[in-house]
Amino acid sequence: MLRIAILDDYQDVALTLADWALLGDDCEIVRFGRNLASEDEAAGALAGFDVLCLMRERMPLSAALIERLPALRLIVVTGARVRTIDMEAAVARGITVCHTHAGESAHATPEIAWGLILSLARSIPEEHARIRAGGWQHTVGTVLGGKTLGLVGLGKLGGRMVPIAKAFGMEVIAWSQNLTDARAAEAGARRVDKETLFREADVVSLHLILGERSRHTVSAAELGQMKQGAWLINTARGPLVDEAALVEGLRQGRIKAGLDVFDIEPLPADHPLRTMPNTVLTPHLGYVTEGAYAAFYRDTVDNIRAWRDGAPVRVLAAPKTEERT
């Protein structure tokens, strides 16, 4: 019997969005609807499973945790980019790691960024809650037309922000460490230096890949350069921003923030960001769409079938004896 664990299925949709019966009657499939927050909890719950199906980076697999999972032989992670699995430890244990296609993230993540921007502009969550409670309008909104959008990162996702900003009548400026004038112009933006971007932008939106070079790209210094009342939007990765400095900036009331990602996810119940009135918070919804999930889970089933047949596909890491296709 092959034991398969589907992790972090928060919405209880994994078993309905793919045909898991294709794996055969000799598989036991168990879904986990909650996050296994600690190594001890994860080791206790997952020790008997042969296959772990991960949803993006929700469940880190460190070398220490992998060592405590003696039955584990295959890891399938949704999306092609993952930094939370110790690949060397997995290979050393004879474990294969496969990925799925990226799904709809190229469209979905910029769309949630604009959802956060519009929510801040017109206080939509606050007014929704007020009308549900029997009240009526209380806030005064602002328009985006004539404002400046500053994009930190102008790659695939950042580039999709530009035409939408132009449709709203916004000017677009951009910065990243490797951005050139030619690439910025091609995308419809104007390249500026980092200080200029944070000083001039009314809305700063982050679209960088997280790595050691990009960690804390937004520190207390950058937050201090932002205009009074400017907005910071983060739909990329939490650690791109110095979270303690952000909390302090929000406490001072200088800026607002629309955040879909955090240093620790799920966000702890007692985290100060949960009580900040000048924020709009969403629980890492950027890639969470029905189309993306259906593609993720279909590929997951396909990956398990191919691995069982001895010809794994979309391989990120594998023992040398494992054939890659």
Q: Is the pLDDT of residue 322 over 90?
A: no
Alpha carbon distance 181, 170 (integer Å): 19
Which residues partner with 259 through β-bridges? 234, 281
Q: Is the pLDDT of residue 319 over 90?
A: yes
pLDDT digits (tens, 9 = 90+) for 65-87: 999 999 999 999 998 888 899 99
Q: Is residue 266 reached through a cis peptide bond, with omega within 30 degrees of 0 on the bond before it?
A: yes
> What's residue 321's pLDDT?
64
pLDDT digits (tens, 9 = 90+) for 102-149: 888 889 999 999 999 999 999 999 999 999 999 999 999 999 999 999
> What's residue 81's pLDDT?
83
Contact predicate 60/35, CB 8 Å: no
Q: Is the pLDDT of residue 94 over 90?
A: yes
> What's residue 126's pLDDT?
97
Q: What is the pTM of this model?
A: 0.94
Alpha carbon distance 140, 281 (integer Å): 20
pLDDT digits (tens, 9 = 90+) for 219-239: 999 999 999 999 999 999 999
List, by residue number, the catalytic residues.
237, 265, 284
Can you say whether the dihedral through the CA atoms of 236, 242, 247, 251 is positive or negative?
negative
Q: 325 falls in which pLDDT band (50, 70, 90)?
A: very low
Q: In sequence order, what DSSP letters do the residues of 217-266 get, joined into one string? A: SB-HHHHHHSPTT-EEEE-S-GGGB-HHHHHHHHHTTS-EEEES--SSSS
pLDDT digits (tens, 9 = 90+) for 156-184: 999 999 999 999 999 999 999 999 999 99
Q: 187 falls in which pLDDT band (50, 70, 90)?
A: very high
